[in-house]
Amino acid sequence: QVVGGKIKKPGKRGRKPAKIDLKAKLERSRQSARECRARKKLRYQYLEELVSSRERAICALREELEMYKQWCMAMDQGKIPSEIKALLTGEEQGKAQQNSSKLAKAGKTEANSSNP
């Protein structure tokens, strides 16, 4: 045949298919499918763990929100919840401890500088 001024040979274009053993090809296909299923299973396990951890976090945050709502309702009624009192006294004690430790450190540095 002559196409566009060139002589064309009859037959297929491209590479000839390699003579691959059919059993080996089927076994490779099965192995690939097994690996694909294993990857899929791992992916789903990871996603399920992720979802459950997020659900636990949501529950904890909802409980915390409910606690804060109760505190606000109590303060609207003029009552100070004991938890808040404990936080406030703890902060005051923490500040007092920090101030006393700062004074103690300052006293030590003054004593060390006066004893050369």
Q: Provide the pLDDT for residue 85.
A: 85
CA 18 from chain centre, in angstroms, equals 48
pLDDT tens profile 39-64:
999 999 999 999 999 999 999 999 99
> How far apart, in whole angstroms, are the C-alpha atoms of residue 47 and residue 41?
10
Handedness of CA 106, 109, 113, 116 (dihedral sign): positive
